[in-house]
Amino acid sequence: MIQLLKNKSVITLIGLLMLGVLIGSLHGRSRDAGRPFVVMNLLDSALYPVQAAGHAVRSSAATALRIGRPRKSILKENAELRKRVRELEMENASLKEGAEESIQLRDTLRLSQNLPINTVAAEVISREESTWFDTLVINKGRRSGIKAGSAVVNHLGLIGQVEEAGTHTSKVVALTDPLSAVGGMVRRSRACGLLRGQGADNILLTYLPKDADVKRNDIIVTSGMGQVIPKGFVVGRVLRVVRDSTTGTTSAVVRPSVKFEQAEYVLIVAGQGGSLQ
């Protein structure tokens, strides 16, 4: 044992693990207190250009794949025509790309104008950096007034909550993440429960009353409980209802209205609490 502890590599491992535990607990403590952790903040700022560059490369590659389709021809006299076709395709593809972007931006703008609360628009620059967390990174941080806990929405409904706000970027945790817990309500019957992520594409509405009036295809909205996320944001539709006679509980599996991986432009609700109704 003493021999093992004299080994340089074992000492390094133990030292690094202790440092890791220290950094982890300090990060957790500063996150709970709602203030930024300086080490992560510095790394965050260093990673921002790489994440933004990755996003730019991905967007360009997607456009290039769409417009740069190689076409082989056997007839020389067709060269001019092929060139013309390609030019038109390029123009068409970039117009389609522009139109798609314009639709998303218009929807986001319309939502921003219709919401009775202050919002900040942001673009998703990176997502799911790890296998185990449904998170994404947006290009707005504390400088734009983003705070941890704020709701993140788009024109289809609630996407998640800001987990951590950096100087220029913020981390958003999706509703589907197992660590996410948001107050939810059946819009038709007003039965309230707690929405918990399941780590897959579904969310579970738990802690419903035993005889809760909830059925398939019911729309689930945020309940506004906890004064963090405003009341009335659409979360999704009920896929199935689970009534457990042994424990006397009712829960509902909810399919989110927003596909987390397809969100490109989002709105962050600047204030906390409030209602859309």
Whole-number Cα distances in Å, 86 to 71, 72, 97: 9, 12, 16
Long-range CB pairs of 92-100, under 8 A, 24+ apart, other chains included = 93/63, 93/66, 93/67, 94/63, 94/67, 96/66, 97/63, 97/66
User: Within positions 130 to 149, which residues make up the interface with other proteins, using CB under 8 A?
Assistant: 130-133, 135, 137
Nearest residue to 265 (alpha-carbon basis) of 92, 150, 93, 136: 136
68 binds other proteins (CB under 8 A): no
For other proteins, the closer of residues 28 and 273 by Cβ is 28
Task: Please check whether residue 242 is in contact with residue 252, taking contact to mean a CB–CB distance below 8 angstroms.
Answer: yes
| Binder among 66, 86, 127, 142 for other proteins (CB under 8 A) | 127
For other proteins, the closer of residues 111 and 177 by Cβ is 177
For other proteins, the closer of residues 109 and 204 by Cβ is 204
Cα–Cα distance for residue pair 76/97, rounded to 1 Å: 32
242 binds other proteins (CB under 8 A): no
Nearest residue to 132 (alpha-carbon basis) of 44, 213, 199, 84: 199
Closest contact distance (angstroms) between CB of 255 and other proteins is 16
User: Within positions 69 to 88, which residues make up the interface with other proteins, using CB under 8 A?
Assistant: none
Closest contact distance (angstroms) between CB of 261 and other proteins is 5
Whole-number Cα distances in Å, 218 to 89, 173, 202, 240: 43, 24, 15, 10
Nearest residue to 166 (alpha-carbon basis) of 150, 188, 185, 143: 143
For other proteins, the closer of residues 130 and 277 by Cβ is 130
x-or-dash string of contact with other proteins, 183-222, rule CB under 8 A: ---------------xxx----------------------
Stretch in the footprint of other proteins (CB under 8 A) among 54-62, 71-79, 98-106, 226-234:
54-62
Q: What are phi and psi of 197, to 5 degrees?
A: -65, 150
Q: Which residues bind other proteins (CB under 8 A)?
A: 8-9, 12-13, 16-17, 19-21, 23-25, 27-28, 39-40, 43-44, 46-47, 50-51, 53-55, 57-58, 62, 125-133, 135, 137, 163-164, 171, 173, 178-179, 198-200, 261-262
